[in-house]
Chains A and B, each alone.
Chain A
Amino acid sequence: MAYIEIKNICKSYPVQGSTTEKLEVLRNLNLSIEKEEFVCIFGPNGSGKTTLLNLVAGLLPPDKGKITISGNPPGKVKSSFIFQNFEETLLPWRTCLDNIAFPLEVNEMSRKEARKKIVAYLDKTQAELPLNQFPYQLSGGQKQLLVIYRALIFQPKLFLLDEPFNALDYDMRTSMEEKLLSIWGDNRITTLFVSHEVDEAIYLSDRVIVLSCLPAEIIADIKVDLKRPRTLEVLKTEEYSELRNSILSAFREGYRR
């Protein structure tokens, strides 16, 4: 059995102003994800990518079907979720250091111990974060980095990211992707990354899952066999363009449906 098993998942939302009509978001979705795999969910906007992530995180219950994570129901496994509106999840009354300490504190570690651990960890990774400043004093990229460190400091078993780099310009985005890969490389956590950028999806992941328009089904499940650690040079290779073409043609097919 795979690490994450998603079996026959259905999910609809009630339509506003109607009692009978429902918006079908996911229909009989099946997906298995192996331990330590980095999987990108790629699809058009409004294709249920975020819904899928919420189901895996246990923040939403499915209408039908079952999800297990190493045999447990979702929500029972230590996981970290970086939301699209991640800036709103920062705690503005805490310094950077204490923001990162939060997940450790609620998992039974004293703040003093947590601080020590974080400083040691960040020294090792040579992170450029002003630890004693408050979130409102940081740049966009630093906030992003802060959220990633906060998500990984307590060694979750599952890492979920929902289009986290949307608000960044191209330069920032590629540099954040590089940083994310290097941090992920040190920890190797099973990761689900939602994206609507094809380059981002290939560059980061071991596998790209292409979703169709609603109700979302899996159109393609494409393995990305590019060597790790990767650099942006990989975007120039032949293999890369082939992957890109097959993903995009699947994407177009999904759009037509």
Chain B
Amino acid sequence: MKNKVLPLVGVGIFLMVWYIISLTHIIKPVFLDPPHTVFKALLEILLISQTWGDIFATLYRTVIGFSLAALVGTAVGMLIGYSSATRDTMEPLVDFLRSIPATALLPLFIICFGIGDAGKIALIVFTATLIITIYTMLGVKNCNKARQRFAKTVGASQMDIFKKIVFFEALPSTFAGLRTSISLALILVIVAEMIMMGGKAGLGGRIYLARYGTDYTEMFALIVVCGLIGYGLNRGFQTLGNKFIHWAGR
């Protein structure tokens, strides 16, 4: 059994350091409240329906963008990963595109898709698709040749080998790509919401506005909300992974 107390000790240490910093005024109290003030503000904003609307907007953009990217990235990665010719053709290009810092493309996406939901979602789809494609491609490329050789000797067709072996063998790598990109998708949505102020503010927009109105307590409370969402998504994915690819690496 994993020790259930130790993780709490870590959190406790963090909160203590936070207290010490705010009580000793190393950082001016105007900018940094002690934890209990922030948590009180957190409870207060969670009682306002507008906050839930913003949480929903942020989640909606993240999930829609990520889901589209997961579908496209997995399919494209599997297809171009399977033959060495398509892999060699596409790999440098995909690698280059995903190396562009996504935020550098923000202005371009504003021009093409506007400052509403479409622009934000498009930014995620672009970035996450490339990452998932790369991971899936590598998964396909690194398939164990012994399994395919075995399949060939018992008379499996190329299609069977692809559907019943290569696809599954690539899954752990695809999954690593999905996990990386769900975290990145959340980051991008928050940044996009600070800059593309169309539609609902979302958590990013709210954080930006809180700072603008110098309401630092609310700003920290919103940051905690973002952190909890990110943590939840990551843990959710971990659980999914343990369930569906329990066999990976064994």
Closest to A83 in B: B146
Which residue of the partner chain, among B147, B153, B156, contacts A88 with CB atoms under 8 Å?
B147
Number of A-B contacts (CB under 8 A): 61
* A103 engages B164 (CB within 8 Å): no
A134-151 to B contact mask, C-beta < 8 Å, 1/0: 111000000000000000
List residues of A (90-135) whose CB comes within 8 Å of B's CBs.
91-93, 102-103, 105-107, 134-135
Show the binding face of A for B, using Cβ within 8 Å.
57, 59, 78-81, 83, 85, 88-89, 91-93, 102-103, 105-107, 134-136, 154, 156
Residues of B within 8 A of A135 (CB): 247, 250
* B146 engages A89 (CB within 8 Å): yes
B147-164 to A contact mask, C-beta < 8 Å, 1/0: 101111111110010001
Residues of A within 8 A of B149 (CB): 59, 81, 83, 89
* A80 engages B154 (CB within 8 Å): yes
Closest to A107 in B: B155
Q: List 7 A-B contacts (CB under 8 A).
A: A89-B146, A89-B147, A89-B150, A92-B247, A102-B156, A106-B160, A134-B246
Inter-chain CA distance A230–B164, complex, in Å, is 39
Smallest CB–CB gap between B91 and chain A, Å?
26
Inter-chain CA distance A139–B155, complex, in Å, is 28
Smallest CB–CB gap between B166 and chain A, Å?
11
* A79 engages B146 (CB within 8 Å): no
* A92 engages B250 (CB within 8 Å): yes
Which residue of the partner chain, among A59, A89, A134, A154, contacts B247 with CB atoms under 8 Å?
A134
Instruction: Say yes or no for B144: interface residue by CB 8 A criterion.
Output: yes
Quick one: which of A59, A83, A91, A136 has the most chain B CB within 10 A?
A91
- Tell whether A105 pairs with B150 under 8 Å between CB atoms, given A92-B247, A92-B250, A136-B247: no
Smallest CB–CB gap between B242 and chain A, Å?
13
Closest to B244 in A: A93
Residues of A within 8 A of B245 (CB): 93
List residues of B (119-148) whose CB comes within 8 Å of A's CBs.
144, 146-147
* A78 engages B155 (CB within 8 Å): yes
Smallest CB–CB gap between B131 and chain A, Å?
23
* B153 engages A59 (CB within 8 Å): yes
Residues of B within 8 A of A85 (CB): 146
Instruction: Say yes or no for B165: interface residue by CB 8 A criterion.
Output: yes
